[in-house]
Amino acid sequence: MKEIVRQLEERRQNAKMGGGQRRIDAQHTKGKLTARERIELFLDEGSFEEFDMFVEHDCHEFGMEKTKFPGDGVVTGWGTVNGRKVYIFAKDFTVFGGSLSRTHAKKITKVQDMAIRTGAPVIGLFDAGGARIQEGVDALGGYGEVFTRNVMASGVVPQISVIMGPCAGGDVYSPAMTDFIFMVRDTSYMFVTGPDVVKTVTNETVTAEELGGASIHTTKSSVADGAFDNDVIAMTQLRRLIDFLPLSNVSGVPERPFFDDPNREEPSLDTLIPHNPNMPYDMKELVLKTVDEADFFELQENFAKNIITGFGRIEGRTVGIVANQPMVLAGVLDSDASRKAARFVRFCDCFEIPIVTFVDVPGFLPGTAQEYGGLIKHGAKLLFAYTEATVPKVTVITRKAYGGAYDVMSSKHLRGDINYAWPTAQIAVMGAKGAVEIIHRQDLGDAEKIEAHTKAYEDRFLNPFVAAERGYIDDVIMPHGTRARVARALALLRDKELENPWKKHDNLPL
Amino acid sequence: MFKKILIANRGEIACRVIKTARRMGIQTVAVYSDADRDALHVEMADEAVNIGPAPSNQSYLIIENILKAIKETGAEAVHPGYGFLSENSKFAEALEKEGIAFIGPNVKAIEVMGDKIASKKFANEAKVSTVPGYLGVIADTAEAVKIANEIGYPVMIKASAGGGGKGMRIAWSEEEVADGFKSSMSEAKSSFGDDRVFIEKFVTEPRHIEIQVLADGKDAIYVGERECSIQRRNQKVIEEAPSPFLDEATRKAMGEQAVALAKAVDYRSAGTVEFIVDKDKNFYFLEMNTRLQVEHPVTELITGIDLVEHMIRIAAGEKLSLKQADVKLNGWAIESRIYAEDPYRNFLPSTGRLVRYQPPAEGVTGTRTVRNDTGVFEGGEISLYYDPMIAKLCTHAPTREEAIDAMSEALDQFRIEGIQHNIPFLGAIMEHPRFRSGALTTGFIAEEFPDGFSGIEVTPERADLFALVATYVNELHAARATQISHQLPHRQRKLPEDWVVSFGTDWSQRVKAQEAAGGLDVAFLSDEGEVTSRHHISSNWTPGQSVFRGAIDGQPVVMQLERAKGLQGYHLNYRGSSANVVVRTRRAHEFALLMPEKVEADTSKLLLCPMPGLVVSINVEVGQEVKAGESLAVVEAMKMENILRAERDGVVKEINCAAGDSLAVDEIILEFE
């Protein structure tokens, strides 16, 4: 027994060294932490329980049997974040460059299976060189096994991927199927095919950073939901995110003590909407003044900025916030904004997170670029997502709610639960100018008449009353009371029950 | 007494006048431009009348519009506040013609004192000591240079009709006279509609000390002095009463000259006689402001006299109810002008929405008084059309030292978000040993902050204070996080006790935090784990609050804090110092040390618009070689023309905007090769 314990200790020490001190130092030189360091930072102190520390690969090709490292390039296990369980796997770049083998994949699928069975999030930290070529089809099979678990876990437990180094080829598809992807600036990149292959096939010359760096994926491709300056900040922020997320689709949202008065009034919101309807204002101010302690975890902050998505808390409980941003493209819905918000709404619905929507939308963005790009289907995604969502839905129209976009933004007609409007709301088919030009086409040459028609239209339709008269909004509320009213509505809706008809699954317009 | 008065002004001064009028049972009428329709003075007044579009030369400066508002509302008198029409004799005359009382001086006094050349001649006759200078009207640049050469450098070029630093330039050389003469003239024209300027000797090491007078056309008294030496580019920043420099004899001599001058023009109402005082307590008459001064609250605080009330009573025909012997100076008062400007970016104006505006509580606490004169509110707008002053924060206490301490504390409680403001700079001045010693001159800011302002250095004592507050705040956040639902049964998270507090790249402190009776015990540890000092923090602070109030080792501490976005840490502000303080577990701190520093993007090849504003001119062309210091573009904001100069030699590669364009902050104006 004593001897075994001694051996165990030795093997543990050996395993913990991964690919050895030289490679650990190399990792540090690149400004990166090792897999175990990242895990240590992410989880509560001393809470990590490692699985499969002694697993080694079983490949016999190309002399691989002579090179074995315990753990086989991935560190897996579970631990807690503020006492709540999470599963984690972290690619170990110091061992075979973190490349994926059959056994490596098996370690990952083990925690994925456990996560589904026990209802806890799975976090993947990526920093690896792709498939272990020597393993051939075994590696490809391994990927497939991981992908399958990603799909099975989707909507059951939250899955988060953090790209903290290279992530290419087969490695990208597992993150792609998780709920959120984050990246680390300057040290991570992510692409299906790398710069060398790109050069050969399309003759484009690009660097890894230009092809798949954090800035590309957070601003252009929208593959990543956020980026952080370094590993330490990434792990800290990941802990912050976990505190917002339910453990699973049946756990309910986390709740924690709050110090912010739910009835806090914000008189300044009464002047948020400018007198001129064409002047922008910052919708984030409303978001920050509504949620507890102005603590808002924004997702896709630098992509499709015309819509804001992210998590906040009200009365200590997580809510998903979707808000049009008049500061960018007047808050219009375009393809990108629709996709961004649709995915977020669906995440919230999967995990029973109530959705609070702030609406100031002039409509859908016109133009060939949008129509050719499939705006119809992209717009329909958001429409679809809001409609199918059965979680509590509270909506506040602050200013414009025009046309089809009015319907889309969590309107009463899409089973919105509580729909409020500020006195500044204008719920109409379109703005006055456009409407008058259509309705009074015959008077187009007569500026005086057009002006009178415009005034008449504004007086009749550009207010919350027409919608209120029909019960399309439940009440007109004062801006300064928004937090109190939203909080009370959410309290009312906490036990909401609504089920969609049984189906195998729906057919979202992809 | 009047039943209804109109206030021909905006902002804090309009609100200030309304308060006194209301106390006296007088109805008030506000006037407002289109940009001010939601302004506080409109809200506070009993009635309000729109007088035109946003630019003041189409609204607040249009006499007919004010007269129309008077007729509409039946106001019997007009208080002009300061600026705008307050020293416009045509306005006073127009009111006189309409039989409306002007709550200000007689026309003669305005005319004589309003013209700096005439006022100096007049002062000489009244045996008031004056500064050497040329009093005539200057025709052109050549003459300006000639006169300046005769007087000897440095000289000061000033708008004859001006005030408040607008259209004022100091020149140390012929070139600067030529430059300054032109810009002074154009600024005078745009600000006052009068482009006459004059030149005089610039007294070095001067203090700016002014005497408040009250007069009813016959009698006149002086109501103590104010020292306004803390100025930035001739714009007053901090004022106090009394002056730490004056002795009773000098005060009396200055006061009596001021009274003599007031009497000589049959002065009626409140007025201010400004003097320059040199280091030997020689004083020279500068000008007389025939209106209520911005900084009048400090006088009110040390005398208990409501100057606005006296102005109203005198305008209503009452005799001055005070005798010289009634004026007693009690304690010390300081005023800080809170401006919408970015102290870290060369004080460039900042405009926009006041997302947060939470001034410290006004009132008396023990021997200390806090007064905040303001014309804004949370959710209001600092518009680019008017003066960028947000508020005048005043404190009063028995001694100068205590008044300054009270100001430091009040500044640390003043929360403004949405725009940039100069509170850190004001906090830095309050802490400055030279300011505290009272060794002031009007050059104080230029001498003590020659390279602008970048926050005062964090001393070891302050670093400890930052560390302790951050530890406390972090502890509460972390402790709350351990209260989250859905934890593993019977395994609630235990808080770590070992933390490292750090800021910047080279300051860190190991701490051990333990909850203790009424607060938190914090031990500072050496790297080896030995306790080096023990501290106790108590506070009622809870997560979400942006002002920390508490006691550290029994000493009260007030600090502003904000959770840093995207970082684990807090942005702390204390008495002119600020720091991003991060609290990490020991292990996390070790890892953080391994992280490379991020390099900021290089903007040295770009000329960025430093403030929101209008491009007046682009002074270079593509391909042009420019030398450091050369003027590249002129951007107008807050009615001030800001010349943007080349920071280094270079060749213009691309110009991205043209005259007339309206730019946001940090928009690229041009690029260098």
Phi, psi values for residue A298, rounded to 5° = -85, 140
Cβ pair A193, A173 in contact under 8 A: no
Could you tell me which CATH class the domain B606-672 is placed in?
mainly beta
Q: For B544-557, how does the pLDDT look when each residue is reduced to its tens digit (9 = 90+)?
A: 999 999 999 999 99
CB contact under 8 A, A236 and B568: yes
- What CA–CA distance (Å, rounded) separates A398 from B661? 31
**In this structure, which CATH number among 3.30.70.1400, 3.40.50.20, 3.30.565.10, 3.30.479.10 belongs to the domain B4-103?**
3.40.50.20
Cβ pair B220, B266 in contact under 8 A: no
B518 contact A CB<8A: no
Q: Does the pLDDT at position B566 exceed 70?
A: no
* Co-location of A211 and A290 in the same domain: no
CB contact under 8 A, B484 and A254: yes
CB atoms within 10 A of CB B434: 13
CB atoms within 10 A of CB B72: 12
What ipTM did this prediction achieve?
0.93
Structure tokens at A48: 């990590």
* Co-location of A440 and A334 in the same domain: no
- What CA–CA distance (Å, rounded) separates A258 from A455? 47
Which segment of A66-80, A239-253, A337-351, B179-193 scores lowest on mean pLDDT? Answer: B179-193
Nearest CA in chain A to B484: A256
CB contact under 8 A, A259 and B542: yes
What is residue B638's predicted lDDT score, i.e. its pLDDT? 57
User: Which pLDDT band holds residue B282 (cuts at 50, 70, 90)?
Assistant: confident
Stated pTM of the model: 0.88
* Co-location of A45 and A175 in the same domain: yes
Q: Does the pLDDT at position B135 exceed 80?
A: no
Closest approach of A252 to chain B, Cα-based (Å): 9
DSSP code for B100: P
Which of residues A59 and B584 earns the better pLDDT score? Answer: B584
CB atoms within 10 A of CB A301: 17
* Residue A254 resides in a domain: no
Q: What is the mean pLDDT of chain A?
A: 94
Structure tokens at B467: 């560390």
User: Which pLDDT band holds residue B191 (cuts at 50, 70, 90)?
Assistant: confident
CB contact under 8 A, A270 and B379: yes
Q: For A222-234, how does the pLDDT look when each residue is reduced to its tens digit (9 = 90+)?
A: 999 999 999 999 9
In the annotation, is A170 catalytic?
yes
What is residue B660's predicted lDDT score, i.e. its pLDDT? 82
* Co-location of A451 and A437 in the same domain: yes
* Residue A109 resides in a domain: yes
Cβ pair B94, B71 in contact under 8 A: no
Catalytic residue among A130, A169, A320, A363: A169
Q: Does the pLDDT at position B567 exceed 80?
A: no
| Mean of pLDDT values over A268-275 | 94
Q: For B430-469, how does the pLDDT look when each residue is reduced to its tens digit (9 = 90+)?
A: 999 999 999 999 999 999 999 889 888 899 999 999 999 9
Q: For B226-240, how does the pLDDT look when each residue is reduced to its tens digit (9 = 90+)?
A: 999 999 988 999 999
Which burial class, exposed, middle or buried, applies to A486 when counting CB atoms under 10 A from its CB (0-12, 13-18, 19+)?
buried
Residue of B356, B491, B496 lying closest to A83 (CB–CB): B491
**In this structure, which CATH number among 1.10.3720.10, 3.30.1490.20, 3.40.50.150, 3.40.50.1370 belongs to the domain B132-201?**
3.30.1490.20
Q: For B575-624, how does the pLDDT look when each residue is reduced to its tens digit (9 = 90+)?
A: 999 999 999 999 999 999 999 887 766 777 888 887 777 888 888 888 88
Closest approach of B461 to chain A, Cα-based (Å): 28
User: Which pLDDT band holds residue B305 (cuts at 50, 70, 90)?
Assistant: very high
* Alpha helices for B217-350 (secondary structure H): 248-264, 296-303, 307-315
What is residue B272's predicted lDDT score, i.e. its pLDDT? 97
Q: Does the pLDDT at position A86 exceed 60?
A: yes
What is residue A407's predicted lDDT score, i.e. its pLDDT? 97
Q: For B452-511, how does the pLDDT look when each residue is reduced to its tens digit (9 = 90+)?
A: 898 888 999 999 999 999 999 999 999 999 999 999 999 988 889 899 999 887 899 999
Q: For A381-395, how does the pLDDT look when each residue is reduced to its tens digit (9 = 90+)?
A: 999 999 999 999 999
- Contact list in B for residue A164 (CB cut-off 8 A) is none
Q: pLDDT > 90: what percent of chain B?
A: 66
CB contact under 8 A, B379 and A230: no
Contacts across the A-B interface (CB distance below 8 Å): 111
* Co-location of A236 and A297 in the same domain: no
Domains B132-201 and B460-481+495-592 share a fold: no
- What CA–CA distance (Å, rounded) separates B422 from B442? 18
Closest approach of A385 to chain B, Cα-based (Å): 28
Residue of A41, A83, A243 lying closest to B591 (CB–CB): A41
B485 contact A CB<8A: yes
Q: What angle do CA A49, A52, A55 make, to 5 degrees?
A: 155
What is residue B323's predicted lDDT score, i.e. its pLDDT? 95
User: Which pLDDT band holds residue A313 (cuts at 50, 70, 90)?
Assistant: very high
* Co-location of A341 and A438 in the same domain: no
> SS3 of B607, please?
strand
Determine how β-strand B155-159 pairs with β-strand B197-201. Answer: antiparallel
Catalytic residue among A119, A155, A404, A434: A404
Cis before residue B154, ω within 30 degrees of 0?
yes
Q: Does the pLDDT at position B162 exceed 90?
A: no
- What CA–CA distance (Å, rounded) separates B483 from B477? 10
HEC-encoded secondary structure of B361-419: CCEEECCEEEEEEECCCCCCEECCCCCCEEEEEEEEECCHHHHHHHHHHHHHHCEEECC
Residue of A83, A186, A231 lying closest to B487 (CB–CB): A83
- What CA–CA distance (Å, rounded) separates B382 from B399? 34
CB contact under 8 A, A41 and B588: yes
Phi, psi values for residue A39, rounded to 5° = -60, -45
Q: Does the pLDDT at position B639 exceed 70?
A: no
| Mean of pLDDT values over A260-266 | 97
What is residue B480's predicted lDDT score, i.e. its pLDDT? 94
Q: Does the pLDDT at position B9 exceed 80?
A: yes
User: Which pLDDT band holds residue A92 (cuts at 50, 70, 90)?
Assistant: very high
What is residue B163's predicted lDDT score, i.e. its pLDDT? 62
| Mean of pLDDT values over B96-117 | 91
CB contact under 8 A, A294 and B544: yes
* Residue A104 resides in a domain: yes
- Contact list in A for residue B483 (CB cut-off 8 A) is 256-257
* Co-location of A79 and A150 in the same domain: yes
Phi, psi values for residue A9, rounded to 5° = -60, -45
Range of the domain at A488: 267-425+463-492
- Contact list in B for residue A83 (CB cut-off 8 A) is 482, 484, 487-488, 491-493
- Contact list in B for residue A272 (CB cut-off 8 A) is 379
Q: What angle do CA B100, B105, B108 make, to 5 degrees?
A: 100
- What CA–CA distance (Å, rounded) separates B562 from B546? 6
Determine how β-strand A307-314 pairs with β-strand A317-324. Answer: antiparallel
- Contact list in A for residue B493 (CB cut-off 8 A) is 44, 80, 82-83
Interface test with A, best of B484, B495, B662 (most A CBs within 10 A): B484
* Co-location of A149 and A289 in the same domain: no
Give the number of residues written for chain B.
Answer: 673
- What Rg do the C-alpha atoms of chain B give, in angstroms? 27
User: Which pLDDT band holds residue B263 (cuts at 50, 70, 90)?
Assistant: very high
- What CA–CA distance (Å, rounded) separates A161 from A126? 7
What is residue B185's predicted lDDT score, i.e. its pLDDT? 82
* Co-location of A286 and A322 in the same domain: yes
Q: For B307-334, how does the pLDDT look when each residue is reduced to its tens digit (9 = 90+)?
A: 999 999 999 999 999 999 999 999 999 9
- What CA–CA distance (Å, rounded) separates B507 from A252? 42
Structure tokens at A104: 């490596």
What is residue B18's predicted lDDT score, i.e. its pLDDT? 97
Q: How many domains does chain A have?
A: 3
* Residue A249 resides in a domain: no
CATH of the domain at A238: 3.90.226.10
* Alpha helices for A129-260 (secondary structure H): 137-153, 173-176, 195-202, 208-212, 214-219, 231-242
Domain boundaries, chain B: 4-103, 132-201, 210-448, 460-481+495-592, 606-672
Q: pLDDT > 70: what percent of chain B?
A: 97
**Residue B388: what residue type?**
P
* Co-location of A386 and A485 in the same domain: yes
What is residue B165's predicted lDDT score, i.e. its pLDDT? 66
Q: For B60-87, how does the pLDDT look when each residue is reduced to its tens digit (9 = 90+)?
A: 999 999 999 999 999 999 999 999 999 9
- Contact list in A for residue B480 (CB cut-off 8 A) is 256-257, 259
User: Which pLDDT band holds residue B569 (cuts at 50, 70, 90)?
Assistant: confident
Cβ pair B358, B415 in contact under 8 A: yes
**In this structure, which CATH number among 3.30.479.30, 2.60.40.1180, 3.30.700.30, 2.60.40.10 belongs to the domain B460-481+495-592?**
3.30.700.30
Cβ pair B287, B268 in contact under 8 A: no
Residues of B numbered 247-276 whose beta carbons fall under 8 angstroms of chain A's beta carbons: which are they? none
What is residue A128's predicted lDDT score, i.e. its pLDDT? 93
B53 contact A CB<8A: no
- Under 8 Å CB-to-CB from B146, ≥6 apart: which residues? none
* Co-location of A318 and A440 in the same domain: no
| Mean of pLDDT values over B81-102 | 94
What is residue A229's predicted lDDT score, i.e. its pLDDT? 93
B355 contact A CB<8A: yes
- What CA–CA distance (Å, rounded) separates A135 from A99? 10
Q: What is the mean pLDDT of chain B?
A: 91
Q: For B55-65, how does the pLDDT look when each residue is reduced to its tens digit (9 = 90+)?
A: 999 999 999 99
- Under 8 Å CB-to-CB from A191, ≥6 apart: which residues? A168, A172, A208, A211, A212
Could you say which architecture CATH assigns to the domain B210-448?
2-Layer Sandwich (3.30)
| Mean of pLDDT values over B124-153 | 83
User: Which pLDDT band holds residue A323 (cuts at 50, 70, 90)?
Assistant: very high
| Mean of pLDDT values over A118-134 | 93
DSSP A251-300: T---B----S-TT---GGGGG-S-SSTT----HHHHHHHHSGGG--EEES
CB contact under 8 A, B544 and A41: no
Element (H, E) at A370: helix A368-372
Closest approach of B39 to chain A, Cα-based (Å): 11
Q: For A102-116, how does the pLDDT look when each residue is reduced to its tens digit (9 = 90+)?
A: 999 999 999 999 999
* Co-location of A81 and A191 in the same domain: yes
- Under 8 Å CB-to-CB from A410, ≥6 apart: which residues? A322, A355, A357, A359, A386, A393, A395, A416, A419
Question: What is the maximum alpha-carbon separation in chain B?
Answer: 92
Nearest CA in chain A to B589: A232
- Contact list in A for residue B381 (CB cut-off 8 A) is 271
Catalytic residue among B12, B187, B200, B287: B287
Q: For B332-355, how does the pLDDT look when each residue is reduced to its tens digit (9 = 90+)?
A: 999 999 999 999 888 888 888 999
- Contact list in A for residue B485 (CB cut-off 8 A) is 254-256
Closest approach of B340 to chain A, Cα-based (Å): 18
Q: pLDDT > 70: what percent of chain A?
A: 100
Q: For B407-426, how does the pLDDT look when each residue is reduced to its tens digit (9 = 90+)?
A: 999 999 999 999 999 999 99
- What CA–CA distance (Å, rounded) separates B350 from B611? 6
* Alpha helices for B50-173 (secondary structure H): 63-73, 89-98, 107-114, 116-125, 141-151
* Residue A356 resides in a domain: yes
Interface test with B, best of A24, A39, A45 (most B CBs within 10 A): A45
Catalytic residue among A131, A405, A432, A467: A405
In the annotation, is A169 catalytic?
yes
- What CA–CA distance (Å, rounded) separates B79 from B86? 8
- What CA–CA distance (Å, rounded) separates B560 from A141? 56
Q: Give the bridge partners for B392, in sequence order.
A: B337, B373
Closest approach of B585 to chain A, Cα-based (Å): 9
User: Which pLDDT band holds residue A214 (cuts at 50, 70, 90)?
Assistant: very high
With CA atoms as reference, report the closest residue to B166 among B176, B177, B158, B154. Answer: B158
Structure tokens at B536: 């106790």
Residue of B480, B584, B594 lying closest to A33 (CB–CB): B594
What is residue B7's predicted lDDT score, i.e. its pLDDT? 97
Structure tokens at B313: 């009573």
Interface test with A, best of B585, B586, B595 (most A CBs within 10 A): B595
| Mean of pLDDT values over B15-35 | 96
Cβ pair B392, B294 in contact under 8 A: yes
